[in-house]
Amino acid sequence: MYNEEELIQQLKAPATREAAFRTLVLEFQEQLYWQIRRMVLTHEDTDDILQNVFIKVWQGIDQFRCDSKLSTWLYRIANNETINYLNKHRHRTISLSDGEEPDTDGVRIQLESDPYFDGDETEKQLQVAIQTLPPKQRQVFNMKYFQEMKYEDMSLILGTSIGALKASYHHAVQKITNFFEHLD
């Protein structure tokens, strides 16, 4: 376990920056990987985004003002990088328009061919359902459902009010429920 204050001091000191950065990567890479992975479809894309996150952290550590927890800052960078990626690659995401059935075959094929995904059929269906959500709802759902994150922490990371986050989560759950109801 790391001490956040000491790690930040070491990250900001040129003599200890590299060792502290290795500690930071070891401490957070898995958590950040899964935050990103639940938003994008492939392991390779997730790795690319994660690498960009750590590059931004390395380049921006001197600008970190310590007005939030280090983990909150890292999640915010990961969130922004993921949204930037999704915006650049819109054709690889699925959106639900009113009354329109999503074309989910592409997601299923990618999940089935991904050697890093080993979920059973129900897990695959859940992942397909999650991919049908708009990016913001997908983020909120993933943070609340998989990471069991508190709305207060999500609010700091996403810069959104708690009420809006609760509404997004509620809408996401409704859409996922509807997805499963229409599987038959």
**Residues in the chain with pLDDT < 70?**
1, 90-120, 184
pLDDT of residue 132: 87
pLDDT of residue 94: 42
Domain boundaries, the chain: 1-93, 95-184
pLDDT of residue 1: 63
DSSP letters along the chain, please?
A: ---HHHHHHHHHSTTTHHHHHHHHHHHHHHHHHHHHHTTSS-HHHHHHHHHHHHHHHHHHGGG--SSS-HHHHHHHHHHHHHHHHHHHTGGGS--PPTTPPP--HHHHHHHHH-TT----HHHHHHHHHHHTS-HHHHHHHIIIIIS---HHHHHHHHT--HHHHHHHHHHHHHHHHHHHHT--
pLDDT of residue 40: 87
Taking alpha carbons only, the member of 29, 32, 15 closest to residue 78 is 32
CATH architecture of the domain with residue range 1-93: Orthogonal Bundle (1.10)
pLDDT of residue 96: 37
For residue 157, count other CB atoms closer than 10 A to its CB. 23
Question: What CATH class has 95-184?
Answer: mainly alpha
pLDDT of residue 27: 95
pLDDT of residue 78: 95
